[in-house]
Amino acid sequence: MNSQVLAWLYGFMGVLIFSGSLPATRIVVMDLNPWLVTGLRATIAAVIALLLLKYFKVKRPSRQDQYSLIYVAIGVVIGFPLFTALALQYVHAAYSIVFVGLLPLSTAVFAVLRGGERPRMMFWLFALTGSALVVLYIGLEATPDAANLWGTLYMLAAIIVCGLGYAEGAKLSRKLGGWQVICWALVISLPAMLLLTYISYAKQDNIELSISGFFALMYVSLFSMLIGFFFWYQGLAQGGIATVGQLQLLQPLMGLGLAAVLLHEPITSLMLVVTIGIIFCVACAKRFA
């Protein structure tokens, strides 16, 4: 199979797995506070990552690579999970999912700043158009209340740090390998996440995790935090960070479907129109990347 096609398949599998992250996080934060959810999901994933690294006897990364891994950890292990969990206290999963349409632009910007990539001008045109559709949706759907404002700000922060984590991790994957990058990032984060889990657990008044909450926690821990990155970083590293990163524009459509099925959240016609426009931008961005 053509290496570029394989890269897009890897990327698509990663996006498919990630599409369930926000609906699952929404379910968990109904039972647990966002700080505890962030600590637990990273801790569970980090323990499994440590076992994998030990089993396969993976060589410890160099000091320079460890610095890059810190950026990855800040972006995708700590920043994105925490900010999205905080946002989902204030807004519905369906609303937050549309923000994911901004991730390709964020990833592409960091691909230039950190990865040294130089996409063509037409690529930027369609990437910016797709992102503009997301901004338009936010402007039309947002309600002028404090809760919605906080949810919007948290989601924007999540998109920025996640773009950094994606680009830095993909760049490092070319050297270490995709699954090793996320595993090392999780292991580096483990002490801080254990401390966060302990403090958050002590502050949680009632620990009553429902069955749906338990399965949602397992999903974000095993799939969103670990397995999804095996595919995603491999696709980005092999096919180009900015190019394959445009697949994230498909994530809102998948996520909206899951939000409707799992959470019974309303899907507006505006959401669908924006999502279809975003998909068109993905195809064009791929063509001109």
Q: What is the pLDDT of residues 72-103, one digit of tens each?
A: 999 999 999 999 999 999 888 878 887 887 88
Residue 128 CA to residue 210 CA, distance in Å, equals: 41
228-239 and 3-18 helices, crossing angle to 10° = 150
Query: Which tokens sit at 7?
Result: 């890269």
Neighbours of 5 (CB within 10 A): 10
* Exposed/middle/buried for residue 120 (C-beta within 10 Å: 0-12, 13-18, 19+): exposed
Q: So where are the chain's domains?
A: 3-288
What pLDDT sits at residue 94?
78
Place of tokens 């948290």: 154
* Exposed/middle/buried for residue 261 (C-beta within 10 Å: 0-12, 13-18, 19+): exposed
Residue type, 80: F
What is the largest distance, in Å, between two alpha-carbon atoms of the chain?
A: 54
What pLDDT sits at residue 146?
62
For the full predicted model, state whether its pTM sits above 0.95. Answer: no
What pLDDT sits at residue 142?
62
Query: Which tokens sit at 55?
Result: 């089993």
Q: CB neighbours of 11 closer than 8 A, spacing ≥ 6?
A: 231, 232, 235, 236, 239, 244, 245, 247
CB 236 within 8 A of CB 269: no
Q: Which residue positions in the chain have pLDDT lower than 50?
A: none
80-87 and 34-55 helices, crossing angle to 10° = 150
Residue 80 CA to residue 154 CA, distance in Å, equals: 9
Neighbours of 248 (CB within 10 A): 29
What pLDDT sits at residue 38?
96
What pLDDT sits at residue 145?
67
Residue 65 CA to residue 164 CA, distance in Å, equals: 15
What pLDDT sits at residue 140?
77
